[in-house]
Amino acid sequence: MLPEEFQSRMRLQLGDEYGEFLKGLEGERHRALRVNPLKGGGCPQEARERFLALSPWHLEAVPWEEEGFYYSHALPGPGRHPYHEAGVYYIQEPSAMAPVVFLGAEPGEKVLDLCAAPGGKSTQIAGRMRGRGLLVSNEIHPQRARVLSENVERLGIRNCLVLNETPERLTEVFSGYFDRILVDAPCSGEGMFRKNENAGEEWSPENVERCAARQDGILDCAAAMLRPGGRLVYSTCTFAPLEDEGSVSRLLCRHPEMKVLDPARCLAGSGGAAEADETEGLKGEARLAAWGFAPGRADWAVEAPGSHMEKTLRLWPHRLRGEGHYLAVLQKDGSRTGGEVRSLYGTERGIPEKECREYLEFAAETLRDRPEGIYLRFGEQLYLAPRDLPALKGLHVLRPGLHLGALKKNRFEPSHALALALCPGEVRRCCPVEGAGGSGENGITAQTYLKGQTFPLEGEKGWYLVTVDGYSLGWGKLAGGIMKNHYPKGLRMT
């Protein structure tokens, strides 16, 4: 049941479209997944084509995201398939894929996902960055931050710093630091009424006002952390004007250095509106219309009249195959071509390689090439971080890059994260198990491995990357003709 006050407001917002809106909410949910391009050996097109060839589900393309696909509601669903455990895709509501498309993140940049849990948009950004540059994914709530960190690990992301901090604390450390920032703000969640039955019971006009006030503070922090010339994408999953056009217009009043960009022209080139001519912009407008995206409403932004709210975007559930979403693309005045930008405490130096002897011996025996970066040690745990990782002083860090494993006495124990970040061509020994696209060793199935079972196998002793259909699942260690299973106990299937 939709709250009566919500229905009254939506009648005023939509007028003659209100009936179609209600029908849209009453219809069946649209389920989708997004292919992980990091699992394709560095080529998104190859990753996508390979997955489409192996997929056991009927898939239809999500128009606005090349890696996105609607899937039929069939059993077993994608959430129970070995490909999910291998990080081959991320299950994501289709409308929620849109904001990152307009963010335009590129390899080598410094990008912040400020309200990142559970990780759908962060992992989408990481796919576009191709493992190069720095992605900072932050979540203020500790439990949700742990879920975020787990999803970053599952999708094999190497260049992500996962933080559990307040926006205010991050602003102290990262003033004017980021090339691009995504603010997928906490909101009243009106676009989730169809997906979450409890969302309607938790809704109230007072909560809409509280969310809008919270969004103002978050956006102030984001504006402060953005480099001159940098891009900010603001998004919500609500229909409330106070939280959508209202939040953007209030930001523009407080920060005259920010302006709204034309999303149609942002589609033409990832570098932004300045790099797209008018013809490309017109083509972009046609694409937006074909996708079912609607313009924002200037009359819903009373705080800043003339602030071009028609250049923001609304995704209505009765106009496209997805839930409700809103997004605005903004840019900070100035040029991004200035000198090097540093965080408050500079960059991490890392530890010397001589302190990683056990890992280096493991890498020489097991890996064809060592991943590049700097080494960080926390107790016995070893991480590989991007070379320009900001100093972590005073920050609550959950994941400072790629977790390599544990430095034990005279040996190295590789992590599950390292396994998921590797492709079969990067290791010396693989153990294929049976999946959707082919047979494994001695008839061993992916389910057998995911349940934590050991199995007999002949071969050279040592660490093996266990794979299903060419996708990494985890580690096994062969000794005495028995493959010991190193799939994490907490993840094992029952």
Quick: pLDDT tens for 3-32: 999 999 999 999 999 999 999 888 888 999
| CA distance linking residue 128 with residue 130, whole number of Å | 5
Q: What does the block give as tokens for 198? A: 């409890």
| CA distance linking residue 269 with residue 335, whole number of Å | 17
The SS3 assignment for 356 reads helix
Within 13 Å, how many C-alpha atoms sit on residue 67's CB side? 31
pTM over 0.85: yes
| CA distance linking residue 203 with residue 73, whole number of Å | 29
| CA distance linking residue 469 with residue 471, whole number of Å | 6
Q: In angstroms, how far is CA 157 from the centroid of its own chain? A: 10
Does residue 76 have a cis peptide bond before it, meaning omega lies within 30 degrees of 0? yes
Quick: pLDDT tens for 288-342: 999 999 999 988 876 666 678 999 999 999 999 999 899 999 999 998 776 678 8
Per-residue pLDDT of the chain (494 residues; tens, 9 = 90+): 789 999 999 999 999 999 999 998 888 889 999 999 999 766 888 899 999 999 999 999 999 999 999 998 776 789 999 999 999 999 999 999 999 999 999 999 999 999 999 999 999 999 999 999 999 999 999 999 999 999 999 999 999 999 999 999 999 999 999 999 999 999 999 998 877 777 778 899 999 999 999 999 999 999 999 999 999 999 999 999 999 999 999 999 999 999 999 999 998 544 333 344 455 566 888 999 999 999 999 888 766 666 789 999 999 999 999 998 999 999 999 987 766 788 989 999 999 999 999 999 999 999 999 999 999 999 999 999 999 999 999 999 999 999 999 999 999 999 999 999 999 999 999 999 998 545 555 678 999 999 999 999 999 999 999 999 999 999 999 999 999 999 999 999 98
Known catalytic residue at 237:
yes
What are the strands, taking DSSP E only, across 10-73? 32-35, 59-61, 68-71
In DSSP terms, 162 is beta-bridged to 137, 399
Residues 6+ apart with CB under 8 A from 113: 121, 122, 125, 135, 136, 137, 138, 181, 182, 184
Q: In angstroms, how far is CA 334 from the centroid of its own chain? A: 28
Is 429 within 8 Å of 439 (Cβ atoms)?
Answer: no
* Options 237, 266, 423, 431, the catalytic residue: 237
Residue at 141: amino acid letter: H
Q: What size, in residues, is the chain?
A: 494
Helix, strand, coil percentages in the chain from 3-state DSSP, rounded to 5: 40, 25, 40
Give, in order, the Cα–Cα distances in Å from 76 to each of 72, 73, 80, 445: 11, 9, 6, 16
Q: What does the block give as tokens for 171? A: 């602003």
In DSSP terms, 427 is beta-bridged to 367
